[in-house]
Amino acid sequence: MNKVVLIGGGGHSKVIQDIIMLHPDMKLYAIVDDAYKHEYEINGVIYAPINFVNMLDVNDFSFCIAIGNNIIREQIYKRLPIKDDQYITLIHPSAVVSHKSKIGSGTVIMPNVIINADSTIGKHCIINSGAIVEHDNIIEDYAHISPHATLSGSVRVGKGTHIGAGATVIPETTLGQWSVVGAGAVVVKDVSDAITVVGVPAKKIN
């Protein structure tokens, strides 16, 4: 049985907990979050501050950073003494994931996602409910593709970039690092680093 520790206890964590319940070879062992001021147990699950991880023999567990904020996910990854191969990749059973795609450690694939051939998704990404990642995409670490966003063929998404719900990115477009694409936007040209674009077609805002 694969014992899983989730780092983060908010709304995003709730969805990940549901995915774990659907995998009979996994058991939710603990949820750690600094919102919990002391350690306690409910229905066989331990709730504790994040430093609880330092009390574990981490080699006996799998981990997932269950936090929606891209910046905080990276900060938590750098903070904790957990090796990459101990971070579990979680895929909802309803997702359609090509056997020719590559999914990095710690990444979560939500319900009804489609990931097509030869796409590569980095570490600690979120591919959220109903999102479509077409063929030959490259999605770098800590990115978040929100519900029902569509990435057409050969799109590149930079590290930490957040694509909003229902947004569309046309083929062969590059999005820079740590940028934001607003909900419902249509991206028709490359987006540089650390900016926010919104609208149809998507344009930079101050």
Task: List active site positions.
Answer: 135
In DSSP notation, 61-99 reads -EEEE--S-HHHHHHHHHHS---GGGBPPEE-TT-EE-T
* Residues 201, 32: Cα–Cα separation, whole Å: 41
* Residues 76, 93: Cα–Cα separation, whole Å: 27
How many other C-beta atoms are found inside a 10 Å radius of the C-beta of residue 186? 16
Query: Are 194 and 177 spatial neighbours (Cβ–Cβ below 8 Å)?
Result: yes
From residue 35, alpha-carbon distances to 4, 48, 77, 107, 122 in Å are 19, 8, 18, 23, 28
DSSP element (H, E) containing 15? helix 11-21
